[in-house]
Amino acid sequence: MTMSKGNIEHSTCLAMTDILNRIGDKWTVMVVGMLGQHGTLRFNELKRMINGVSQRMLTLTLRNLERDGLVTRTIYAEIPPRVEYGLTRLGRSLEGPISALWDWSAANGHAMAEARATYDARQDARPDDNGTALARVG
């Protein structure tokens, strides 16, 4: 059975959606970024480096990254047990795209904030159908 171009595009789109759901998550980007910059890290080291992540969210993120083959989890038989996380070869292949995203964010974050402020000011001043200014939600 041959696949039509439409079926190939559909399956590619599904694969892209699955991948973006994983690597597009802000905690995933932060974890992969930190492991890429600092190498192998323990859980609490990662938690300290990633501002705002809860213990539960970091646990879930690391578990999902391990499941997807992006992160390794190494347990050392010590008292107390030591657990370290590192990027796999597949995970390291994400370093370039994530590093580019970090760089782009640093270079363009201010411009985006200005664009949002300009847009919000225009929306706040725009009259609705009754001629009164619209209230911005959010």
H or E segment and range at residue 52: none
The whole-angstrom separation of Cα 33 and Cα 61 is 13
CATH of the domain at 26: 1.10.10.10
| Same domain flag for 116 and 65 | no
Sheet holding 41-42, edge to edge: 41-42, 82-87, 71-76
Of the pLDDT bands very low, low, confident and very high (cuts 50, 70, 90), residue 10 is: confident
| Same domain flag for 74 and 14 | yes
pLDDT score, position 19: 85
| Same domain flag for 9 and 62 | yes
**Contact (Cβ atoms closer than 8 angstroms) between residue 64 and residue 94:** no
Q: What is the pLDDT of residues 54-93, one digit of tens each?
A: 999 999 999 999 999 999 999 999 998 899 999 999 999 9
6 by Cβ neighbours in 10 Å (0-12 / 13-18 / 19+) ranks as exposed
User: What's the domain range around 101?
Assistant: 94-138
pLDDT of 1 > 50? The answer is no
Q: What is the pTM of this model?
A: 0.73
Of the pLDDT bands very low, low, confident and very high (cuts 50, 70, 90), residue 22 is: confident
Query: Taking residues 122-136, what's their average pLDDT?
Result: 68
CA angle 97/32/39 to nearest 5° reads: 110
